[in-house]
Amino acid sequence: MRLKVSGWDTGLRFSAAHFIPSHDKCSRLHGHDYCIDITVEGSDNGGFIIDFDLLKQHAREVIYKMDHHVLVPSRQTALKHTEKEDSIEVSYNGKKHVFSKEDVFFIDVDVTSSEQMSAFITDKLASKLKDNKNISRLEVCLYEGPGQGACTSRNMND
Ligand SMILES: [Zn+2]
């Protein structure tokens, strides 16, 4: 049994700024309207795999931390960041940005690509669903605007 939630249709969306140091065009600071689709596989537990509202609430808790923030990849070795009292200086490839601390979300990835961000969100959402033992598989697709995105799926019993 499988259920799906479409992010564009149900409001699982967020906006964020990012940059990809190793990429020509995308090394410039720019932003996207992101959305996530979620697919959950599992067995029937009282008529449901999981309540849609609960699933969306968990997903919002994960993605809203990134909403209207600058995403800084904390595992990117080509990037240096220096924390000051209330600001964060980020430098890579001879470029330098200074952001207010409150505007930055450090995301635990090498690159803020759709691929790695979908893996990050899948892991965070999986940990929120770990007590739902009837869920066997989770997939999250992250879209950078309509029509292009990347999906990560994982078994929940591993
Ligand atoms: Zn981008």
61 CA to centre of ligand 1 in angstroms: 22
Distance 31 CA to ligand 1 centre (A): 6
Domain count for the chain, please give it: 1
pTM: 0.96
Q: Say how many C-beta atoms besides its own lie within 10 A of residue 155's C-beta.
A: 11
For the chain, the C-alpha Rg in angstroms (whole number) is 17
Closest CA relative to residue 34, chosen from 143, 147, 109, 139: 143
Cα of 5 vs centre of ligand 1, distance in Å, is 24
57 falls within a domain: yes
Kindly state whether residue 40 falls inside one of the protein's structural domains.
Answer: yes
Residue 49's Cα: distance from chain center in Å? Answer: 23
Catalytic residue numbers read 26, 68, 144
> How many other CB atoms are there within 10 angstroms of residue 45's CB atom?
14
Kindly list the averaged pLDDT for each block of 10 residues, start to end, along the chain of length 158: 97 97 91 98 96 98 98 94 95 94 97 97 97 97 95 92
Is residue 91 included in any domain, yes or no? no
Look up the CATH number of the domain holding residue 51.
3.30.479.10
24 belongs to a structural domain: yes
Q: Within the chain, what is the greatest distance between any pair of CA atoms?
A: 57
96: in domain = no
Give the residue from 119, 99, 96, 97 showing the smallest Cα distance to 109.
119
Contact 149, 114 (CB under 8 A): yes
CA of 110 to the centre of ligand 1 (A): 14
Structural domain contains residue 85: no
- Answer whether residue 89 is part of any domain: no
Give residue 149's domain range.
2-68+110-155
